[in-house]
Every structure is written in C-alpha cells, then in structure tokens.
Amino acid sequence: AKSSGGKGERFFTADMEAQIEARHALEADLRKAVEREEFELHYQPLYDLSQQRICGFEALVRWNHPTRGRVPPLEFIPLAEEVGLVVDIGRWVLRRACRDAVYWPEDIKVAVNVSAIQFTDSDLPGDVAAALEEAGLTAGRLEIEITESVLMENLDEALPILHVLKQRGIRIGMDDFGTGYSSLSYLRRFPFDKIKIDKSFVNGIVEDKEAFAIMRAIILLGDALGMRVTVEGVETAEQMALLRSEACDEIQGYHISPPRPAVEVPYLLSQLPEH
C-alpha cells in the first residue's frame, strides 16, 4: 500500500522494525550456534556416469536450532557472511568434512563449499592445511567448491589463493556454473578442475530441444577445456539417461540421492554401486 504519511507509514515502519528485530534474533542465535556446535553436515553423492558408481560426496551444512528446528543454509549463510560468522562456520565445516571423509574408501572425494568471505577475511590455505592434517586426509581427496561471485568480487585476492590450494593438490570446482554473466572469461583465466553446471539448466532438457542444446554446449565447453563436468539437480532417470549420452562426467541430484546424514554414507555406498 502506498504510504501518504499517517497510518500507512506507521504500518510500514512497524513491519520493517519487526524484520530487523527478527534478523537480530537470528544473528544472536547464530553466534551461539557456533559455540554450541549446533551444525551438522549432510552428504549428497556425486555419481560418476561412466564408472556407474559414487565417486564423492558434497558436504552441505545444516543448522539444527533448538526451537526453530532445521534452518536451511540459504536462510543463514548469507547472514553469516554479512556478520563475519561464516569464517568460523566454514572452518568448522572444513574440519568436520575432512574428519568424516577419512573413514570413507580412498577413491571417494569430499567437496566443500567455501564462501567469498573465507578468501578475504581468513587464512584459507592455512585453515585447509590444518583441517587436512588434523584428520590425516590426503589433499587430493578434498575439493573446494566456489561460486563465480567469489572470483568476481575479489579476483586479485582470490586467484593467488586458488593457485596455492591447487599447487598443494586440492581440487577446485566452479559451482553454479552459468548463473553469472562473466563465467566464460574466468574459465580461461583459471584452470578449474571441474565445473558444476547449475541445476537451473537441467529443467526442460528432456522436453525442450533448446534447453538441451544449451546444456550440451556448456558440457562441451567444459570438456574442451579439459575440465571435469558435473551436472547438479538431476531429478529423473530420463535426465540422467540424456546426460549419459553426452560428455558429462558426473551428476548430482535427488535421482541418485538427496543429502543424507554422515552416518548414512556407508549405506549409500553399498546401495548405489551400480545404478
């Protein structure tokens, strides 16, 4: 409603105040969550299409709030980034993921999402090295997933850090590929080990010729540049079959499995050797 002073404006203000208050409450809870270790990692399989088996898992953070219940990452990661808490959370995620992965078979990798803030406001190579060492995990089993915004916002800072990680044998994947407008020029500037094609590109590939043509072109691009190509958000057998006939290396999505708690990883590995 348009506010012409008086009543409307007061309602608008009250609504804004309520929103700000709710945010502050969430922020206060998030600070406690770090200390109280209310976070948990769930793992979603990365499925190798030619080997027809799981080749890794992506770690996805979950916040189990004592009264709010499970708060989805998209509701608290952006806030954690704004108030700087994502550095502590990210450090916890790295350590937890490495400690979990060390119990998995040696050819199973673990992928961890890293926020832009971790590149600028913390010693990421130091944190990664500490997490690997503490767990006794080989660098080659860890994959760092970064989104394009990480690079766009801090290219000069991020690139040398990525090179350090890569030199140490850690694999680098570009997440949500295709959603930013400058992806293509960055692909040339940094040799990623992998691109993960955003799930929005999967919609319609079975039904729509144009959607499939776009997906196919992105896969071929990644493949031509010598990168491993993952498609995320694969929800049906038809989508998987279509991608199998392309140069797509691995898929991730509800069709294989949703993210599951760490204790279920051995079960997933035994249930999905062939698919």
| Residues of this chain that bind Ca ion (CB under 5 A) | 113, 145, 175-176, 223, 229, 249
Tokens of residue 91, six digits: 């450090």
Given Ca ion, ligand C2E, none, residue 223, with its beta carbon under 5 to 8 Å by kind, binds Ca ion
- Cβ count within 10 A of residue 83: 13
Closest to 177 measured CA to CA, from 114, 140, 207, 221: 221
Residue 108 or residue 117: which is nearer to ligand C2E going by CB? 117
- For residues 8 and 69, which CB has a smaller minimum distance to ligand C2E in the complex? 69
d(CA 257, CA 268): 8
Choose the contact partner of 38 out of ligand C2E, Ca ion, none; CB within 5 to 8 A by kind.
none
Contacted entry of ligand C2E, Ca ion, none for residue 254, CB cut-off 5 to 8 Å set by kind = ligand C2E
Interaction site with ligand C2E (CB under 6 A): 44, 60-61, 72-74, 77, 90, 93, 113-115, 175-176, 199, 232-235, 253-254, 259
Strands (E), 123-215: 142-147, 171-177, 194-197
Closest CB to Ca ion among residues 30, 219: 219
Residue number, 126 or 258, with CB nearest to ligand C2E = 258
3-state class (DSSP) for residue 261: strand
Which CB, 29 or 205, lies closer to Ca ion?
205
| CB-based closest residue to ligand C2E | 253
94, 124 in Cβ contact below 8 A?
A: no
* Cβ proximity of 272 and 256 under 8 Å: yes
Determine how β-strand 142-147 pairs with β-strand 171-177. Answer: parallel
Residues in the chain: 275
Q: What does 249 interact with, of Ca ion, ligand C2E, none (CB < 5 to 8 A by kind)?
A: Ca ion
